[in-house]
Homo-oligomer: A and B are copies of this chain.
Amino acid sequence: MSFDRLIANIKEKQNPTVAGLDPKLDYIPDHIRSAAFEKYGKNLEGAAAALLEFNKGLIDALCDIVPAVKPQAAYYEMYGWYGVRTLAETIAYAKEKGMFVITDAKRNDIGTTMEAYAKAHIGCTDIEGEKVQAFSSDALTVNGYLGTDGIKPLLEICKNDDKGIFVLVKTSNPSSGELQDRVLDDGMTVYRTMGTMCEKWGSDAMGDFGYSAVGAVVGATYTEQLAELRKALPHTFFLVPGYGAQGGGAKDVAPAFDENGRGAVINSSRGIMCAWKKEGCDEKEYAQAARREALRMRDEIVSYIGTIK
């Protein structure tokens, strides 16, 4: 099962983190932007070319120490189909470098349509009998508001093609509680109910480390809920956003892990991508600054959870 590959990668690198690739133009050093705009024009194509160059530099600097990357689809779609091409190329490049790739796209739809998303993002597209990979990440984030129908098509691919999904359970944003914290008539919160569905959906797709192919997104900014959910959902691997720029610290994310130091991967996007700005170093060193921040984050988190067994 997919998260076995991720967990093995985390163990090997002793690093339970994922680098978010959400490349706004503002984050990209001037020399990369200028070169791309000069070549392609100050347009979507030029912007997308700058994004790809920036991402490749980050991946090269991180691939031997960080187990996974998480490109966020929105920041690519913002640059039109050129941006989406950069997303596909970023995924392919990161996979080539041995990284586990999580496409953060929070897709959701009814069954027949979800089948199309599943094929697009973690499976294969059938073109008159030819199997072709459209984006083909290792894992995809999804939204479970539509229930089982919208999850099932993904499960088939998870089982057959060794892929995984992360379902939104308790998100990191300030207003996540408006619906997610509401209590149902059986006394359970909505987020806990969604978490319980993840356990059920994953029960048929269990991996060797005791975690299924159905993970959950749980924000670093809600540390009590993290602890509650880690206990309640023993087979659900967590993707934890909200560390760093959104306010979550290493101490806040520690409850996401089990007694073996497993069970979660912590994301940092802006912290890593913009490390060169925060450091104030030469912009040509942006990738090295990202690496330094990734190492600092790794050490900080591992200092709370110990060796990953």
Contact = CB atoms under 8 A, between A and B. Distances in A.
Contact of A194 (B168, B174, B179): B179
B182 A134 contact: no
Interface string A104-119: 0011111101101101
B134 A149 contact: no
A302 interface: no
Interface string A163-184: 0000010011111111110111
Contact of A127 (B44, B77, B143): B44
Contact of A108 (B88, B108, B177): B108
Contacts of A111: 173
Interface residues of A, number: 74
Identical copies in the complex: 2
A81 B74 contact: no
Interface in A58-104: 72, 74-75, 77-81, 83-85, 87-88
Contacts of A109: 72, 74, 106
Contacts of A187: 185
A157 to B, nearest CB: 13
A120 interface: yes
Contacts of A180: 145-147
B184 A197 contact: no
Interface in A13-42: 22, 24-25, 33, 37, 42
Contacts of A88: 80-81
Interface in A130-175: 130, 132-135, 143-150, 168, 171-175
A178 B88 CA distance: 34
A32 to B, nearest CB: 13
Interface in A168-216: 168, 171-180, 182-185, 187, 190, 193-194, 197
B134 A44 contact: yes
Contacts of A133: 80
B183 A77 contact: no
Contact of A146 (B80, B113, B147, B171): B171
Contact of A42 (B108, B128, B172, B177): B128
A149 B125 contact: no
A78 B119 contact: yes
Given A145-B168, A178-B197, A127 B43 contact: yes
A301 B120 CA distance: 35
A121 interface: yes
Contacts of A168: 108, 145-146
